[in-house]
């Protein structure tokens, strides 16, 4: 079976400064794998490497059995969709036109959308709850609405692997829950592999099947949220300003709460 994503002994750095070192994991079909870790740990860099925007210095990345760079670009875009942080969409495009961009890898020679493309675009807009905004210009949307357009564009691509870099940052809690529930359901029902960067540990704990914890470019834990989000580990990484509880209503999945921290006198980074 070719897997949505395989990362093996991946090492990368910018300008000779190491950012990722010896990272290995596999993303299974139908799985939501949450990528977590402190600021600057290398999460976005890992997503960019997975999408083929960067090349490994050592080790390898395989999307459905091949290095991203070895896929013809249109074929790759039908397999995997990337939602980068702060993705840009021209403000003069409408919501409909922006989501339709996700169909680019399917369009024929003249680029005219067919019924199938229109259907996939509507479905994506409906799924993220913005079909009623189809005629609005991007410049007239709130940050949260714009974020949902970017996600709709990725869903319109109908990928088998989703690479998402903090896709819910600008959303309120209702929309965060709605979007992450949708992503989880899609993964399960359509067998899509999802690698998702989430800096909110509670969202990660609630919505991911497994978590991958990156610290200083190394994968220090990989597995069930209950094992990865252990209190002693999080205190060592994030400092004493947190408390971790098992949730009684969700199989003991951990909840991470902030706590007043008397010694938090300065930020070192």
Q: Which residues are at the interface with ligand ADP (CB under 6 A)?
A: 14, 19, 37, 39-45
* Smallest separation, CB 44 to ligand ADP (Å): 3
Q: Which CB sits closer to ligand ADP, 42 or 52?
A: 42
Q: Which CB sits closer to ligand ADP, 15 or 92?
A: 15
Largest distance between two CA atoms of the chain: 64
* Smallest separation, CB 269 to ligand ADP (Å): 9
CB 261 within 8 Å of CB 241: yes
* Smallest separation, CB 41 to ligand ADP (Å): 4
Buried b (16+ CB within 10 A) or exposed e, 35-53: bbbeeebbbbbbbbbbbbe
* Smallest separation, CB 164 to ligand ADP (Å): 13
Residue 112 CB coordination number (10 Å): 8
Of the candidates 248, 224, 220, which has an alpha carbon nearest to the alpha carbon of residue 234? 220
CB 111 within 8 Å of CB 151: no
Q: Which CB sits closer to ligand ADP, 44 or 94?
A: 44
* Smallest separation, CB 35 to ligand ADP (Å): 8
Q: Which CB sits closer to ligand ADP, 145 or 166?
A: 166
Q: Which CB sits closer to ligand ADP, 5 or 130?
A: 5
Contact partners, residue 245, CB within 8 Å, separation at least 6 = 254, 255, 257
* Smallest separation, CB 43 to ligand ADP (Å): 3
d(C-alpha 179, C-alpha 154), whole Å: 13
Q: Which CB sits closer to ligand ADP, 138 or 219?
A: 219
CB 254 within 8 Å of CB 232: no
Q: What is the CA radius of gyration of the chain?
A: 19
For 31, 202, 253, 261, the CA distances from 247, given in Å and listed in that order, are: 22, 11, 5, 23
Of the candidates 247, 6, 36, 7, which has an alpha carbon nearest to the alpha carbon of residue 44? 36
Look-up of token digits 């074929």: 75
* Smallest separation, CB 219 to ligand ADP (Å): 12
Q: Which CB sits closer to ligand ADP, 61 or 141?
A: 61
């Amino acid at each position: 079976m070719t897997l949505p994503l395989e990362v093996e002994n991946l090492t990368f750095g910018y300008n000779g400064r190491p950012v990722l070192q010896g990272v290995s994991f596999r993303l299974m079909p139908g799985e939501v794998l949450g990528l977590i870790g402190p600021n600057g740990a290398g999460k976005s860099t890992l997503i960019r490497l997975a999408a083929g925007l960067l090349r490994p210095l050592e080790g390898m990345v395989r999307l459905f059995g091949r290095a991203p760079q070895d896929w013809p670009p249109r074929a790759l875009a039908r397999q995997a969709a990337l939602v980068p942080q702060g993705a840009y969409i021209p403000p003069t495009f409408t919501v409909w036109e922006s989501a339709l961009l996700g169909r680019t890898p399917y369009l024929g020679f003249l680029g005219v959308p067919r019924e199938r493309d229109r259907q996939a675009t509507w479905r994506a807009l409906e799924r993220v709850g913005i079909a009623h905004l189809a005629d609005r210009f991007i410049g007239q949307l709130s940050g949260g609405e714009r974020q949902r357009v970017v996600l709709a564009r990725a869903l319109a691509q109908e990928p088998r692997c989703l690479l998402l870099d903090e896709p819910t940052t600008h959303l309120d809690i209702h929309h965060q829950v709605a979007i992450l529930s949708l992503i989880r359901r899609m993964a399960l029902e359509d067998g899509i592999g999802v690698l998702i960067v989430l800096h909110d540990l509670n969202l990660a704990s609630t919505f991911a099947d497994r978590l991958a914890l990156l610290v200083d470019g190394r994968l220090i834990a990989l597995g069930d949220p209950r094992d990865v989000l252990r209190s002693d580990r999080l205190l060592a990484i994030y400092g004493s300003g947190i408390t971790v509880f098992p949730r009684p209503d969700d199989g003991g999945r951990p909840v991470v709460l902030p706590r007043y921290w008397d010694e938090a006198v300065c930020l070192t980074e």
